[in-house]
Amino acid sequence: IDRYRPIFIMGEVGAAGQYSYVPGLTVQKAIAIAGGFSPRANQQSVDITRDINGKVMTGRVATSDPLLPGDTVYVRERLF
């Protein structure tokens, strides 16, 4: 059995925290695992922080984008 690093989901979701990574996981599926969007969530795009070749990078992505083991997902609050 392969073991993957967990993913972390923070911000405007039902239950923020650490979750197990499974192959084929997208941002949208990860948010669903974390209890879905909160009423104040910006559902259009989220931020992902990822370690790329030893460098930590953060970028805004669509909810259909794939996740990698060790990623941190941050769902922002919408402005209005």
Q: Is 19 a domain residue?
A: yes
The confidence score (pLDDT) of residue 46 equals 96
Task: Give all strands (DSSP E) within the chain, no chain letters.
Answer: 7-11, 17-19, 45-52, 55-62, 72-75
In a domain, 40, yes or no: yes
Arithmetic mean of pLDDT, 15-19: 97
Going by pLDDT thresholds of 50, 70 and 90, the confidence category of residue 74 is very high
Q: How much is the pLDDT for 11? A: 97
Contact (Cβ atoms closer than 8 angstroms) between residue 49 and residue 61: no
**C-alpha–C-alpha distance, residues 80 and 78, integer Å:** 6
Pairing of strands 17-19, 7-11: antiparallel
Structural domain range at position 12: 7-75
Between 80 and 49, where is the model more confident? 49
The answer as to whether 34 is a domain residue is yes
Residues forming a β-bridge with 45:
62
- Mean pLDDT within 3-19: 95
Q: Is the pLDDT of residue 68 over 70?
A: yes
In a domain, 69, yes or no: yes
Q: 23: Cβ–Cβ under 8 A, 6 or more apart, which residues?
A: 4
Q: How many domains does the chain have?
A: 1
Name residue 27's amino acid.
Answer: V
Report the CATH number at residue 50. Answer: 3.10.560.10
- Where does the pLDDT of residue 80 fall: very low under 50, low under 70, confident under 90, or very high at 90 and above? confident
**pTM for the whole structure:** 0.91
